Amino acid sequence: MASTNSKGALPTGFTSPFTLILQQDRFDDLLVCAAILTGRPMADVRKLAEQFGLPKTGPYWVDNVMTAKLLMNLGSLVATSYKEFTSFAALPDVAILLVDYSETTEIGRHVIWHHIRGTKEQQAFSYVIDPALHISAPQQMSTEFGHLKPAWYVEVTAAKAGGKAK
């Protein structure tokens, strides 16, 4: 069995299928999540988002409709509408979490949740990919997520032929 080599580190021998990309500005967390999930460069994501009506400069908010369009067009991925977070155990295998949400401002930031199912070779575990510039490097891809305060999530699945979720 693979083991975790330090607190929050991914298990030894595990390589994430997703590559960390850091935010370029304080408004592009959902764009970065789309880039990470689709494996596409930020330039491609931003260009398509602008075609869908995103302003070239902030402030801006990427809504659920635009997120779904970006994921489908760039990676044939289906995004649900936001669902209320109840527990980490209840999350799907892949999701975009809205964390550190303020009910006053109705603003939070987004991270990626990834659950790895267990096999004979590797125990099941979950980790987050946090593209925020203000967090420490060990928290950018980590199995420690107790510091996050999730409020909502968007489930992300691969599309079948015809654009529906698997």
Distance (Å, rounded) from C-alpha 43 to C-alpha 27? 15
Does residue 8 lie within any of the structural domains?
no
Q: What is the pLDDT of residues 96-135, one digit of tens each?
A: 999 999 989 888 999 999 999 988 888 899 999 999 988 8
Helices 64-75 and 29-38 cross at an angle (nearest 10°) of 20
User: Computed from CA positions of residues 57, 153, 78, 10, in that sequence, does the dihedral angle turn out positive or negative?
Assistant: positive
Confidence class for position 1, pLDDT limits 50, 70, 90: very low
Residue 129 within a domain: yes
pLDDT for position 165: 53
pTM for this structure? 0.89
Residues shown for the chain: 166
Structural domain containing residue 106: 29-158
Residue 22 lies in a domain: no
Residue 31 and residue 49 in contact, taking contact as beta carbons nearer than 8 Å: yes
Minimal CA–CA distance to 149: which of 94, 71, 87? 87
Question: What is the tally of structural domains in the chain?
Answer: 1
In a domain, 12, yes or no: no
Q: What is the CA radius of gyration of the chain?
A: 16
Identify whether 11 is part of a domain.
no
